[in-house]
C-alpha cells in the first residue's frame, strides 16, 4: 500500500505447490519466495516484485483501496503485462492453453485446469441478435 504498487502473478499447473504455499504463509513471517524456490524480480515499472517462474504477470499501479467489511479491495491500473515467450501463440498473443493457469474452486478448495476452447466470444451468442 505504501509503495502504491502490486503485481499479479498467474499461477500455472507446473507451479501449483509453489502458488499454494505462498498463499498459505505471510511474507511478514518467512521469506516465502526463497522457501518455494521462486525468484523475485524487481519490476522496472512499479515498486513491487514478481515471481520469475509464473508465466504471466500483471504489473499494477495502486489506484484505489476500498474497505469492504472483512475484506479490502485493491483496484489498480495495469501498466504492463509480461508473458513468457513460450506461452505466446502463433498470433503473438498469450495462449491460455500454454499458460495453463490454475482455476480455483472456492467451494471445494481445489485447483483445476483450463479445458479446451468451447466457442468464440462475441460470436456464439449472435444467433439471438
Ligand atoms: C487457495 C488460496 C486462496 C486465497 N484467496 C485469497 C483471497 O481471495 N483474498 C485474500 O486476501 N487472500 C487470499 N488468500 C490468502 C493470501 O494468499 C494470504 O493472505 C497471503 O499469502 C498473505 O501473504 P502476505 O502477508 O505475504 O501478503 C488465499 C490463499 C490460498 C492458498
Cell numbers standing for residue 15? 507451479
Give the separation between CA 120 and CA 78, rounded to whole angstroms: 25
* Radius of gyration for the chain, computed over Cα atoms and rounded to the nearest angstrom: 17
Supply the pLDDT for residue 125: 98
Q: If we measure between CA atoms, which residue out of 29, 59, 68 comes closest to residue 21? A: 29
Q: Which residues pair with 88 in a beta bridge?
A: 94
> What ligand 1 atom has the least distance to the C-alpha of 27?
26
pLDDT digits 0-9 by tens, 18-32: 999 999 999 999 999
Supply the pLDDT for residue 13: 98
Supply the pLDDT for residue 71: 96
What secondary structure does DSSP assign to 82-124, as a single string? EE-GGGB-TTSSB-HHHH-B-EEETTTTEEE--------TTTG
Q: Which conformational region is residue 18 in: left (phi greater than 0), alpha (psi within -120 to 50 degrees), or beta? A: alpha
Contact 87, 93 (CB under 8 A): no
Supply the pLDDT for residue 43: 94
> What ligand 1 atom has the least distance to the C-alpha of 109?
1
Residue nearest atom 4 in ligand 1 by C-alpha distance: 23
Give, for ligand 1, the residue of 16, 17, 23 to mutate: max count of ligand atoms closer than 8 Å to Cβ: 23
Which parts of the chain register pLDDT below 70?
A: none
Amino acid at each position: 500500500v505504501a509503495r502504491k504498487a502490486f503485481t499479479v502473478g498467474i499461477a500455472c499447473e507446473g507451479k501449483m505447490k509453489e502458488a499454494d504455499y505462498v498463499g498459505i504463509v505471510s511474507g511478514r513471517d518467512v521469506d516465502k519466495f526463497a522457501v518455494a524456490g521462486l525468484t523475485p524480480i524487481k519490476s522496472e515499472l512499479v515498486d513491487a516484485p514478481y515471481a520469475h517462474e509464473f508465466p504471466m504477470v500483471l504489473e499494477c499501479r495502486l489506484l484505489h483501496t476500498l474497505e469492504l467489511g472483512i475484506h479490502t479491495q485493491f483496484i489498480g491500473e495495469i501498466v504492463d503485462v509480461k508473458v513468457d515467450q513460450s506461452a505466446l501463440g502463433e498470433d503473438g498473443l498469450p495462449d491460455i492453453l500454454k499458460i495453463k493457469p490454475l482455476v480455483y474452486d472456492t467451494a471445494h478448495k481445489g485447483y483445476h485446469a483450463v479445458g479446451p476452447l468451447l466457442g468464440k466470444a462475441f460470436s456464439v451468442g449472435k444467433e439471438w441478435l
